[in-house]
Structure 1
Amino acid sequence: MRTETERLILRPWERRDLEPFAALNADPEVMQFFPAQFTREETAAYIERVATLTDQGLGFQAVEEKVSGDLVGVVGMAPVKPEFPSSPGVEIGWRLAKAFWGKGYASEAAAAWLHWGFEELNLDEIVAFTFSGNLPSRRVMERLGMSYDPADDFEHPSLAEGHRLKPHVLYRLKRADFRPRAGRS
């Protein structure tokens, strides 16, 4: 997918994205709800891995700020891994550099991806999940119109018992409940 919103360009990864994305992934505050920060090499491998989903119409792609041309972060969708309770399905997610927090960019870019998923890929449902204490991401999910049911809470299957990030919440959005946002081009 390549599209633009009012303030953003959602596009495939480019060579110029590696350094700013590596810096984002090395920032302890940005990565506070991930098990570990990423090295430059892990960031490059991540870009390579998520770029291969494009043959399914999915992927986690670069988000660029129109006015500055700066990399904002990553937003996209991917198949839910089989070990997760919402599998099979499609998840949406985001990770933004700290300089771009609080501007509504995660919601703006995610809304474009939701539109893509429901209108172009004809998905019936898209989910999002995060560590239960990740309130900023939970607020984005709520702004997107996603619903939360405590009965869907789960323990992250890839994290060790007792890990501080193990408790996760699941949000859902059905196609019938999706309300497209203005500002797409």
Structure 2
Amino acid sequence: MSVRLRVPTTEDAGAWADLFDDAEVMRYVGTGEVRDRAWYAAFVQRQQELAERTGLCLFSVLVAEEVAGFTGIQPWTQPWGPTGVLEIGWRLGRRFWGRGIATEAGRTVLDRARTLEVPRVVAMVHADNAASLAVARKLGLIEEAALRAPSGVPVLQYGVRLTAAS
């Protein structure tokens, strides 16, 4: 399988909006709200700026040059949980599920983070999202904490050290 990552382009906002305009895809993401193209356009711009500043972002995942979703690392910005810690995350359109794409893309992102000497990342995963929990474990992340989002949703925090402790 040919999985490639790139900093998202302006056009990727439309692809993401189309891929994620699916209640099942969004089921375990935040409140499950489906976002419009304008939201994704602003989101892509933030990811482009983050990539320029840090070398990391939520990258577009390409499968045979078709946008399948995103994976990457960005700061956890919620006012609960590991605020400010770098979080790895992934989201794929439904037709790309179950093929190992998220795991392969996640490994590529973790390799990039190691190259940039990122010491540690976490993954915040809805406790009922078995597929994402499996990806986190395949990436070598270990369960660190069981939390509750302000909405009451159970969230598991997984983490992994990427560089040797000094």
Alignment TM-score > 0.5, same fold: yes
- Is 1:134 the counterpart of 2:129? The answer is yes
Aligned residue identity for 2:116: L
Unmatched segments (≥5 aa) in structure 1 = 1-5, 178-185
Deviations 1:73-99 (A, max 9, x none): 011100122633323421100000111
SS at match of 2:118: coil
2:74 aligns with one of 59, 70, 78? 78
Structure 1 80/19 Cα, relative in aligned 2: closer, same or farther at 3 Å? closer
Give me the whole-angstrom Cα distance separating, in 2, the residues matched to 1:27 and 1:82: 23
Q: Which digits, 9 at most, give the CA deviation of each residue in 1:35-90, with x for residues without a partner?
A: 11111211212112222111112211111113xx2101011100122633323421
Structure 1 residue 10: Cα displacement: 0.4
DSSP-derived class of the 1:103 partner: coil
Letter aligned with residue 112 of structure 1:
T
Rg (Cα) greater in structure:
1
> How far apart, in 2, do the equivalents of 1:24 and 1:174 lie?
31
CA RMSD after TM alignment: 1.8
Alignment pair present for 1:37 and 2:29: no
Is residue 95 from structure 1 mapped to residue 95 from structure 2 by the alignment? Answer: no
Aligned pairs for 1:1-185 within 5 A:
7-34=2-29, 35=31, 36-54=33-51, 55-66=53-64, 69-81=65-77, 83-118=79-114, 120-149=115-144, 152-156=145-149, 159-160=150-151, 162=152, 166-175=153-162
Task: List runs of 5+ in structure 2 lacking aligned partners.
Answer: none
* Percent identity over paired residues: 28
Distance (Å, rounded) in 1 between the aligned partners of 2:11 and 2:38: 15
Residue-pair matches, total: 161
Shift of 1:13: 1.6
Equivalent residue letter for 1:41: A
Contact 1:145 1:173 in 2 (8 A): yes
Alpha-carbon distance in 2 for matches of 1:24, 1:134: 18
Equivalent pair of 1:17/1:71 in contact (CA under 8 Å): yes
Mapped to 2, the partners of 1:12 and 1:61 lie a distance apart of 5
The amino acid across from 1:42 in the alignment is W
In 1, Cα distance between equivalents of 2:88 and 2:79: 17
Alpha-carbon distance change, 88 to 45 in structure 1, aligned in 2, over 3 angstroms: closer
